[in-house]
Structure 1
């Protein structure tokens, strides 16, 4: 217990420093990027109306040095104030909150697909090594791992949305059931790469377990394949699978930018594209910080799951 608390404290300190580095890097790069918020807001008037340009620079503190602006922004972030959108004037937190729920639903749907399909399928492929099922699963995993998620999304739209007309290819839908139907194809596309890697990782973990002495002894005792699968193979192969799946699901959120664009979903990903195109720097900064925080917390949760699944890692950390 003591080691777990110390571990969490150390990780939180390290992850906080990482967030600071990422936020400063993004803040600096946006400041160096071509164009300016004044030009985005005023258009051609920015060249002929210096007074309006100066007013905007003062309103958004663009007339201050970079380090001072970053420090002021960081102080506001500590109070959960990400500034105001240069496009609508709304609070950035409100703008992001309006889009965040849809992206969260999409990510959770993709996570369910990865865990409920990837883990059992990979485990069965490993337990049936060399069978036709194993060969089909391995080939499908190689294809999905090599195909970009947005390309998979386009194929899904053509197959199930246009040719077969089974599922709606675009939009959000109304009501719970209709919303789920609209999210099936984008969730499959978002989960495709992570699903392939989890299947291969689970298969490899199963292959590493089934030849162990305790599994051979369980077979010699006459235990059924289902009992061996649930009580021995699955539990002991869970650690690398959970670690890989957790990291992949966190990083797959970055793929939501392309998936939401392909399927016309008004989520955080499409908001990021819109904000970049319109030079809406406060929103871009807020979304970048949010994404980094999710990745950081996802890594921490994955490490804690590894500690819970394999107590040996606790003792290794105290050595």
Structure 2
């Protein structure tokens, strides 16, 4: 009887509801109700925006410190900028000529003063003058950036698409022949430097088979054209894409294997869910997060790989300009390219993390 009386006395508390709420859990928007899809998307967007705002605040001091480091390291370089400026005339140049060149390009200026003057010019909208290219830095970057940016973005998108799709397939079929072959090939390519991949492609498709040109972005004497860019860009595009696939592929495969072994996926299988529906609805949304995070952390490698690939294939991007500016201590161009690359890496990393937060706000990225 005591137990019965307790049950009866508790029944009104269990069935009563606060004023203004709906019994049964319908989406009325009141307190205690399940959030709607629109409110969930709003929470995701706000979480991603908060992360982006924090990253912008971190980006400012990081950029300043990187620029300071670029000038300091360039000043400690053993290269003599006067040799680069005079070239073949260095040995025959008189002391007066050397002094004139030194004064014209401020080669005797302290690196800290050069760094301060560079930032002062930047704040006034002047990127400086490139002594190695005899052009403004803004013109050098605007002329070469489309080649580097187009190649890098195309390779990044292709590598991510291949890695995500192929990694999902072999991860769901772990241990099979196809999985072992792809994993072994990815491990081998991950240990292969981009310039080796580039040389192999040149040896096979350009020298051996003669299907594609070896370097440049156009034939000598021709103007740039879509056909010329596509033809000359095939090999550097393949080299850069192949160099980026392995780590993304192995990461995606590992994430899919872990997700497939989770309790949620086992419960979905028990309910009769399988195949493409299981992969799309339960495995892929969780597995893609590590791949997105890796994209942000591998952006420096993408830029370094693009510089190597451009040098091997003579692609008219920013790589050769960066090398020339470093050898000649062309502070304006070197700092512009270095700081610009840093900003691109920071922006790319922030966007990849913001995308991960938008997909799943529970991961709680804060910096």
TM-score by shorter chain over 0.5: yes
- Equivalence map 1:155-194=2 (5 Å): 155-173=200-218, 174-194=224-244
Moved more, 63-72 or 210-219: 63-72
* Aligned partner of residue 302 in structure 1, secondary structure: helix
Residues 248 and 297 from structure 1, CA distance in 2 versus in 1: closer, same or farther, beyond 3 angstroms?
Answer: same
- Please report how far the alpha carbon of residue 184 of structure 1 lies from its aligned counterpart in structure 2 after TM superposition: 2.4
Question: Residues of 2 paired with 1:205 and 1:177: CA distance?
Answer: 40
* Aligned partner of residue 82 in structure 1, secondary structure: coil
- Please report how far the alpha carbon of residue 311 of structure 1 lies from its aligned counterpart in structure 2 after TM superposition: 0.8
- Please report how far the alpha carbon of residue 146 of structure 1 lies from its aligned counterpart in structure 2 after TM superposition: 0.5
Question: Which runs of no fewer than 5 residues in structure 1 stay unpaired?
Answer: none
- Equivalence map 1:1-319=2 (5 Å): 4-43=48-87, 44=89, 49-173=94-218, 174-314=224-364, 317=366
Which structure's CA Rg is the greater one?
Answer: 2
- Please report how far the alpha carbon of residue 129 of structure 1 lies from its aligned counterpart in structure 2 after TM superposition: 0.5
- Equivalent residues, number: 317
Question: Residues of 2 paired with 1:187 and 1:292: CA distance?
Answer: 22
Moved more, 198-207 or 110-119: 110-119
Q: How does the TM-score come out when normalised to structure 1?
A: 0.89
Residues 250 and 84 from structure 1, CA distance in 2 versus in 1: closer, same or farther, beyond 3 angstroms?
Answer: same
Contact persistence 1:110–1:187 (CA under 8 A): yes
Contact persistence 2:79–2:327 (CA under 8 A): no
Question: Residues of 2 paired with 1:34 and 1:88: CA distance?
Answer: 21
- Please report how far the alpha carbon of residue 202 of structure 1 lies from its aligned counterpart in structure 2 after TM superposition: 0.4
Contact persistence 2:81–2:107 (CA under 8 A): no
Contact persistence 2:193–2:243 (CA under 8 A): yes
Contact persistence 2:259–2:265 (CA under 8 A): yes
* Aligned partner of residue 223 in structure 1, secondary structure: coil
Question: Which runs of no fewer than 5 residues in structure 2 stay unpaired?
Answer: 1-42, 219-223
Q: How does the TM-score come out when normalised to structure 2?
A: 0.78
* Aligned partner of residue 293 in structure 1, secondary structure: helix
- Please report how far the alpha carbon of residue 50 of structure 1 lies from its aligned counterpart in structure 2 after TM superposition: 4.1
Question: Residues of 2 paired with 1:193 and 1:225: CA distance?
Answer: 30
Question: Residues of 2 paired with 1:42 and 1:169: CA distance?
Answer: 31
